[in-house]
Amino acid sequence: MSERGSMHYEIRPGIVVKTENAAKPESQSSALLRSLLADLPHVSASVDFGCGKLRYCDAVLDKTDILAIVDSEIQLSRMQILKGTTSTIRETVSRSNRIQVYNDLEFTKLNGDFDRAFCINVLSAIPFISKRRQIMKVIRSHLRPNGTCLYVVQYRNSDFHRMRSMPNARSWRDGFLIDSLRGFSFYGLISPDSLISMARKAGFAICQVRRNEGSVYVWASRR
């Protein structure tokens, strides 16, 4: 195993998973997650860990004074289409004085004290279990006592079934790799039980678990 810079995970020589390619645009957001976010009480400080293409950024920002967004530097600095405009994430959010941007290394070093964290479809994009554990611990260490994190992973869907049987797919650990023109993608199928057990091992107490259409939503408290 080797983790290259910018969230490129080298599974073996020549097989590198570039997780930044996994992020979906705002137009492909989950209705259930949007309604869940809209019902949250307002807090002072939140963090969206693995923010991707800012899919849930506006919805999270509506319920917090300050929002920290975290991703790899490549995801934050590369030109991409965001809400129909070609720009970078750093440039797009620089217009808001309520959003702070950190790459993963900057965030690890930050003395944060967040009320609430989000880690949405991030763990399942990471092929190494040790790295998933490390992320959960970093998030927990940045929460205030009784601060909470919402973990979401998709562990079952009909697309996965179809993709898994494609000729360019191969099994890897708890998921599968797809070899495409843009390089390798990884889809980890983390079951609700294993997500809960990982969160407990990272020191969280589980507050609420909800399953919907092959995704699991786990609210975990720092304690």
Ligand X SMILES: C[S@@+](CC[C@H](N)C(=O)[O-])C[C@H]1O[C@@H](n2cnc3c(N)ncnc32)[C@H](O)[C@@H]1O
Q: Which of 135, 198, 202, 220 binds ligand X (CB under 6 A)?
A: 135
Q: Which of 17, 19, 199, 217 binds ligand X (CB under 6 A)?
A: 19
215 vs 195: CA distance, rounded Å = 11
- Choose, by CB under 6 A, the member of 64, 92, 121, 215 that binds ligand X: 121
Q: How far is CA 108 from CA 103, 135, 147, in A?
A: 9, 9, 17
Task: Kindly write out the interface string for residues 40-69 of this chain, putting x where it contacts ligand X by CB under 6 A and - elsewhere.
Answer: ----------xxx--x--------------
Nearest 10 degrees: CA dihedral of 5, 154, 37, 83?
60
Stretch that binds ligand X, among 16-24, 59-67, 82-90, 201-209 (CB under 6 A): 16-24
> Strand locations in 13-92, DSSP E?
15-18, 43-49, 64-71, 80-82, 85-87
Q: List the x/- string, 88-117, binding to ligand X by CB under 6 A.
A: ----------------x-------------
Residue among 24 and 173 whose Cβ is closer to ligand X? 24
Query: CA-based angle 201:207:209, to the nearest 5?
Result: 90
Give the footprint of ligand X on residues 155-194 (CB under 6 A).
none
Q: Indicate whether 137 belongs to the interface with ligand X (CB under 6 A).
A: no
Residue pair 10/2 in contact (Cβ under 8 Å)? The answer is yes
List residues near ligand X by CB under 6 A: 7, 19-20, 22-24, 50-52, 55, 70-72, 75, 104, 120-122, 125-126, 135
